[in-house]
Structures are given as structure tokens and as C-alpha cells.
Structure 1
Amino acid sequence: MSDHSLADARVEDRALITAVMHRYAAMAKEEADFAGMAVLYTEDATIRFPDGLEVGPHEMAKVVRGNEPKAIRHHATTIDIAFTGDTEAQVSTMYLAVTDEAAPDHWGRWEDRFVRQPDGRWLISDRSIVVDGAAPGGWLARHYGGG
């Protein structure tokens, strides 16, 4: 991150981006409202999953593959925001997922590019989901490998 990005407080922009990240974490649960989550992304956004699958914001339900855990909660922890221009930011958010099968079940980070919209909203235009680790025998490890 550049010194310039830290020196430029942009408090309102940081708050709006952080609000998107917390809304996503709150919605990324069992029986998720994928249509509601899609509004946090630009229409042409790309979401990359650790297994190489790439989907648009209206295709996120494909990833679950009908294998939802009975309970899952994502906890966003550190959110690092680096503004790369007036209307773009690179955001790295550490997350921890807890399921009914393991606590923690898996952890990693969301690597996002945010774009400010003409109405002032900040939306995710590109996301890479990185899994740094998973509990052996947990939901993610059993259904998607790893652990």
C-alpha cells in the first residue's frame, strides 16, 4: 500500500467500502439470499473461487452445489483498503468461517477491486476468494477438498 493511500483519509469512502464487506459477511450464511448479495457487485463483476470456477454476481448459488452446511457464519476481520484512484480501491479482507461442522471451518481472504458508482456507492467489480486453510473433516474440506 502506498503512503499516499494512508495519508488520504477518505473516511466516508472507507466507511462505505467497510459497510459492503460487513453486509456481505452477514449475508454469506446458510440459505443465503444470493440475489440480495448480487447487489453488492457491479453487473459485470467476476468472482473467482479457489477451485478455479469463475461466476458473475447472479451465479453465486452455483458454488454451493446444494451442499450447504446447516449453519455457517463468515466473520470479516482485518479490512485493508488501498485507493488506486478517485473511483477505485483494492481491498483485502481477512475472514474466518464457522460452521456446524467445525469452528473454525475455513479461513482466508477476499481480494477485491471496488469501483465507486456515479451515485456514490462502492461496489465489488472483481473478487478472488482465497482459502488459506481448512479444518480436516470440516464442511469446506469435505465438499471442496483441502484441509
Structure 2
Amino acid sequence: MNTDAGDIQHLIARYPVMSDLGKPTDVVRLYTAEGTLELPDGREARGHDAIRDLIRGFHAGIAEDARTAHVRHHVTSHSSQSAGIDKATATTYFLVVTNSGIDHWGQWQDWLKRTLDGGWRLHSRKVVVEGAVEGSWFAHAYPDA
């Protein structure tokens, strides 16, 4: 695995850990300053402050629901490709498990940019949910997604 592919895989692997631990400020550091995050219901946040606020709101909603006393995002498969010298794309499959069991699954569609120091950051992430268990937290929180 070349260094870029390994660095990108490491970046993407850090995302669910930081998110599940409730560290939105750490999650935001994985994005470029002008980065975007799009949720399955079409809401989009642009820039660090907006992404942080969106993630905090997401965590507040989870905290209010007994089905999500425990949430873990599991990365199951990942593929990244160069899109030029300083750009890359990645598709990552995920599975979300709560204290009630499997909740929902889908993929992250990412565009990444190389930083001035040679590292990588998310420039945009689109969360695509492909399925959810009936009665799950996701099915309740995003009925129209």
C-alpha cells in the first residue's frame, strides 16, 4: 500500500472512533477549512463551525433516545483512488450498531485534498444510508431519508 492510500485509510478509520467517543472538535479537524458534510436527509454543513454544530446536534439527538445508549460505527470495506496529484476519492462501507443491535448501514462517499504539509483531509463527505432495521433509531430519526 502506498503512503497516500495508507494515510487516507488511517484518516477514514479515525473518523468513526472520534465521532462515537463524542469528540466533534476532533472530527472537524479531519476536514479542510471549507469542507462539507452531507447527511442522508439532505442537510449539509460547510466549514468547521457548521460541521461541528451539525455533529453536536446529531449527538444531542442520540443522547435523548434509549435505543442509542451505545453507538458504534464499524468500517467494513474501504477503497480510495487518486483523482490527481493533490486529490483523491474514497468509498467506505459502514455498519452502525447500537445497544439494540444492528441499526443501519451504508457508505461514505468522500472527496479528499492533500494539505500543505503533505497529509490528507476530507473536503466533502456524503453519508448514504442504504438500509435500516425496522424500528431502529435511524428509521425513527430519518423517516424520509
TM over 0.5: yes
Secondary structure, counterpart of 1:16 in structure 2: helix
Task: Give 2:70's aligned residue.
Answer: 71
Letter in 2 for 1:53: R
Which 10-residue stretch deviates more, 13-22 or 55-64? 55-64
Task: Give 2:84's aligned residue.
Answer: 85
Task: Give 2:35's aligned residue.
Answer: 45
Secondary structure, counterpart of 1:19 in structure 2: helix
Q: How well do the aligned residues superpose, as a CA RMSD in angstroms?
A: 1.7
In structure 1, which of residues 17, 20, 30 is the aligned counterpart of residue 11 of structure 2? 20
Equivalent-residue separation in structure 1 for 2:18 and 2:45 (angstroms): 18
In structure 2, which of residues 112, 115, 121 is the aligned counterpart of residue 114 of structure 1? 112
Secondary structure, counterpart of 2:6 in structure 1: helix
Task: Give 2:23's aligned residue.
Answer: 33
Segments of 4+ in structure 1 off by > 3 A?
A: none
Equivalent-residue separation in structure 1 for 2:108 and 2:59 (angstroms): 20
Secondary structure, counterpart of 1:105 in structure 2: strand
Deviation of 1:62 (Å): 5.1
Deviation of 1:65 (Å): 6.5
Secondary structure, counterpart of 1:60 in structure 2: helix
Alignment map for 1:4-19 (pairs within 5 Å): 11-19=2-10
Count of aligned positions:
136
Task: Give 2:95's aligned residue.
Answer: 96
Distance 1:134 1:146, change over 3 A: farther
Letter in 2 for 1:42: T
Runs of 5+ consecutive residues of structure 2 not aligned to the other structure:
63-67
Q: Percent identity?
A: 31
Equivalent-residue separation in structure 1 for 2:127 and 2:33 (angstroms): 18
Secondary structure, counterpart of 2:84 in structure 1: coil
TM-score if structure 2 supplies the norm length?
Answer: 0.87
Asked if structure 1 preserves the Cα contact closer than 8 Å seen for 2:96 and 2:103, the reply is: yes
Secondary structure, counterpart of 2:60 in structure 1: coil
Which 10-residue stretch deviates more, 14-23 or 50-59? 50-59
